[in-house]
Structure 1
């Protein structure tokens, strides 16, 4: 194939298409029990007579290896950048704006988040979760 950038774009597009086709995996009997509807999440079916575990026709799909994305882009941001969590403005010096995308840490307060955001933008970083400032 071509250069790394072209390969990366190809695999990012492939991952996006695969994600469109991937079903939403939900636990067995989520459609019957109200207590499961409130918390839609995956739980592996383990019952001896469980039809979903046996992968019978007419039952929801089970999580399998084949639904996983390409290794080249696994864990990357949709733009192809490596996500990094930053808690101080000084941490930005460790990273390259061309390769990394910044996520401001969840435990960082608004004042410090604005400071990190300004520093990141001035250094040429993309910030995935800019602070929400209400005026």
Structure 2
């Protein structure tokens, strides 16, 4: 008999697949035209609008223009780099519909310290990963 592969749950297979896609996705950094040359220009993206702008004309060697085709696939869009689906929680009631194997939890910024500590304790007890747990 050949050695049998252990059964992997479907959710875990999907998560591993999403992680691989996220790792493989080419992350382009679109920077503002001439920000590499002029100190006063911030790197944050602004669409080039000048009539002679080489980047707007998409000339070779002047960087890339933001386009629809550079977006990530719908399978991984909005996912955490771990492959889990992010969920914002502000009370223990919000945890009810979530699963530790498919969700990663962010505790809302509007939650105070006392409630945050209660939430952290409950989330850890249920086996959730907390992205902003303060560790």
Preserved CA contact (<8 Å) 1:55 1:61: yes
Structure (1 or 2) with the larger CA radius of gyration: 2
CA RMSD of aligned residues (A): 2.1
Aligned residues: 126
TM-score (norm 2): 0.79
Quick one: structure 1 residues 4 and 119, their matched pair in 2 at CA, closer, same or farther if it must change by over 3 Å?
closer
Kindly report which structure 2 residues correspond to 1:1-135, keeping only aligned pairs within 5 A, or say none: 5-6=12-13, 8-19=15-26, 22-37=27-42, 40-131=43-134
Deviation at 1:44, TM superposition (A): 1.2
User: Structure 1 runs of 4+ off > 4 angstroms?
Assistant: none
Secondary structure of the 1:101 match is strand
Deviation (angstroms), 1:76 = 1.3
Q: So what's the TM-score if we normalise by structure 1?
A: 0.79
Q: Report if aligned partners of 2:58, 2:65 keep a CA contact under 8 Å in 1.
A: yes
Higher helix share: 1
How far apart are 1:6 and its partner, in Å?
3.5
**Distance across 1 between alignment mates of 2:129 and 2:74:** 23
| Mapped partners of 2:47, 2:92: distance in 1 | 42
CA distance 1:11–1:93, shift in 2 (3 Å): closer
